[in-house]
Structure 1
Amino acid sequence: MSTARAVRFDDYGDRDVLYVTDVPMPSPGDGEVLVEVKAAGINPGEAAIRRGEMHERYPATFPSGQGSDLAGIVTALGAGVTRFAVGDEVLGYSFRRSSHATHTVVPADQLVHKPAELSWEAAGSLCIVGTTAWAAVRAVDAKPGETVAVSAAAGGVGTVTVQLLALRGARVLGIASEANDAWLTAHGVRRIPYGDRLAEELAAAAPDGIDAFIDLFGPQYVQLAVDLGVAPERIDTITAWAKAAEVGAKTEGSMAASTPEVLTELAAMVADGRLELPIAATYPMDRVRDAYAELELRHTHGKIVLLPGA
Structure 2
Amino acid sequence: MRSVQFSGYGGPEVLEVDEAPEPHAGNGAIRVAVRASSLPRGEMMIRSGRRREQVPATFPHRTGHDAAGVVDEVGPGVDGVRVGDEVFGLAESAGSGANSDFALLTTWARKPPTWNWAEATAAAGSSETSTRVLDRLGVGPGDTVLVHGASGSVGTVAVQLARARGAKVIGTAGPANQDYVRSLGATPTLYGDGLEDRVREVAPAGIDAVFDCAGGALPELIAITGDPARVVTIADTSAPRHGVHLSHGASPAQAAALGVPADPPARHGLTAAAQLAAQGHLRVRIAAVFPLEEVVAAATFMEDPQITGKVILLN
Q: Report TM bin, short chain.
A: 0.7 to 0.9
Go from structure 1 to structure 2 and tell me whether the alpha carbon gap of 1:183 and 1:29 turns closer, same or farther (over 3 Å shift).
same
Cα gap change, 1:253 to 1:271, in 2 (>3 Å)? farther
> Deviation string for 1:60-119 (max 9, x for gaps)?
321111000001112344566554433221221112521111223x15x43333233332
Select which of 239, 245, 267 maps to 2:240.
Answer: 245
**Alignment partner of 1:280 out of 259, 283, 287:** 287
Q: Whole-Å Cα distance in 1 between the matches of residues 102 and 27 of structure 2?
A: 17
Work out the CA distance in 2 between the residues paired with 1:38 and 1:256: 28
| In the alignment, structure 1 residue 92 sits paired with structure 2 residue 89 | yes
Percent identity between the aligned chains? Answer: 34
TM-score, normalised via structure 1 length:
0.86
Unaligned runs of 5+ in 2: 250-261
Per the alignment, residue 185 of structure 2 pairs with 188
**Shift of the alpha carbon at 1:224?**
0.9
Contact kept, 8 Å, 1:270 with 1:277, in 2: the verdict is no
> Which residue among 152, 156, 172 is the counterpart of 1:155?
152
Residue identity in the other structure for 1:291: A
- For 1:10, the equivalent position in structure 2 comes to 7
| Unaligned 5+ runs, structure 1 | none
Q: How many residues align?
A: 301
TM superposition shift of 1:158: 0.4
Matched residue, 2:121: 124
Q: State the shift of 1:120 in Å.
A: 0.8
2:313 to 277, 282, 306: 306
Report deviation, 1:30.
Answer: 5.4
Deviation at 1:46, TM superposition (A): 1.6
SS of residue in 1 equivalent to 2:62? coil
CA RMSD in angstroms comes to: 2.5
Q: Which residue in the other structure is 1:115 paired with? A: 112
Aligned equivalents of 1:34 and 1:84: distance in 2? 11
State the shift of 1:275 in Å.
1.6
SS in 1 for 2:139: coil
Over 3 Å counting, the alpha-carbon distance change for 1:92 and 1:140 in structure 2 is same
The C-alpha deviation readout for 1:1-42, integer Å capped at 9, x for no partner, is xxx111110012222211112334444455544321101122
Output the CA distance in 1 between the equivalents of 2:129 and 2:31.
25
Q: Deviations over 1:211-254 (max 9, x none)?
A: 32211122x32111123353111111112233x22222222345
Q: 2:273 aligns with which of 251, 257, 266?
A: 266
Q: In 2, are the aligned partners of 1:143 and 1:170 still within 8 Å (CA)?
A: yes
Mapped contact 1:133–1:253 kept (Cα < 8 A): no
Q: Is the 8 A contact 1:41 1:304 kept in 2?
A: yes
- Is the contact made by 2:128 and 2:267 (CA closer than 8 Å) also made in structure 1? no
Give the 3 Å change call, closer, same or farther, for CA 102–276 of structure 1 in structure 2. Answer: same
State how far apart, in whole Å, the 2-side matches of 1:150 and 1:261 are. 21
Q: In structure 2, what residue type is equivalent to 1:114?
A: K
Distance 1:143 1:114 in 2: 26
Partner of 2:137: 140
Alignment check: 8 A CA contact 1:232 1:247 kept: yes
